[in-house]
Amino acid sequence: MERADHADQADHADDARTAGIVVAIDGPSGSGKSSAARGTARRLGLRYLDTGAMYRAMTWWMMRAGTPVDDADEVAARSGEPDLQVGTDPDLPTITVDGIDVSGPIRSREVTNAVSAVSAVPAVRHRLVALQRELIGDGGIVVEGRDIGTTVAPDATVKVYLTAHEQERARRRAAEGLGGAKVEVTLTQQELALRDKKDSTRTASPLNQAPDAVVLDTTALNLNQVIERICALADERAGMPGRR
């Protein structure tokens, strides 16, 4: 997807109406969530939270600690140990575990292939959802993930569910691996499909579309068009009385 830095100026930054809002962006991998969420946060002058990075950081820590990621009991037993610190500036999102910057290592193939198992463990989700709610605080934030509109922030001002055709999602992931914004090792279309299947069929808080989410198919849209649609929704909803 094309980048739209020139248009990412925070032209709504001083808009009091959007100050306390929560924009929830859910969807499968490769739907364009990260670029869209980050771009929307920059344009609206909001903070940005990548919850997938938190599950990845937890997975990185488990692997480094020698915890077998498929042993749900062991993963659960140790899930309270790592100290996760997350920065929410959309221009420079940061993530550290026990003081170590893990923003690079959490995109490795090893972590990418292990993260579905770790994120399916209820104790992991319980801890990370609590942390995510703390970070959301009084709002003023765009949050991306799989269960934001359904579980983490069911009262979010705006809920968007991004989709894209499977082939296009694999192509985008590959393009990211070749030097996109969030450098991740290229997954094959099969690996991607497998991860989505695991994320969608787990019992604890699966990837799910909130009934009140607006579905946005990004297959034929460029990044700027996606951001514009989300910003328009935020403008519309932020003006609604009775919403956050």
Is residue 119 part of the contact set for ligand DC (CB under 6 A)? yes
Report whether 108 belongs to an annotated binding site. Answer: no
* One residue of 51, 88, 150, 163 binding ligand DC per CB under 6 A: 51
The token pair that represents 224 in the structure block: 């700027």
Which residues are CB-neighbours of 136 under 8 A, at least 6 positions away? 22, 49, 143, 152, 153
Is residue 145 part of the contact set for ligand DC (CB under 6 A)? yes
Smaller CB distance to ligand DC: residue 12 or 125? 125
Is residue 147 part of the contact set for ligand DC (CB under 6 A)? yes
Please check whether residue 110 is in contact with residue 102, taking contact to mean a CB–CB distance below 8 angstroms. Answer: no
With H, G, I as helix, E, B as strand and everything else as coil, classify residue 100.
Answer: strand
CA–CA separation, 197 and 155 (whole Å): 27
- Dihedral of the alpha carbons of 8, 10, 12, 13, in degrees to the nearest 10: 160
Options 63-71, 76-84, 139-147, 230-238: segment touching ligand DC (CB under 6 A): 139-147
CA–CA separation, 138 and 47 (whole Å): 11
Is residue 199 part of the contact set for ligand DC (CB under 6 A)? yes
Smaller CB distance to ligand DC: residue 78 or 195? 195
The token pair that represents 50 in the structure block: 């990548």
Q: Residue 50 phi/psi, 5° resolution? A: -100, 100
Options 6-14, 79-87, 141-149, 231-239: segment touching ligand DC (CB under 6 A): 141-149
With H, G, I as helix, E, B as strand and everything else as coil, classify residue 68.
Answer: coil
Options 16-24, 144-152, 164-172, 233-241: segment touching ligand DC (CB under 6 A): 144-152
Report whether 28 belongs to an annotated binding site. Answer: yes
* One residue of 21, 44, 114, 115 binding ligand DC per CB under 6 A: 115
Binding residues for ligand DC, per CB under 6 A?
29, 51-52, 55-56, 115-116, 119, 145-147, 195, 199
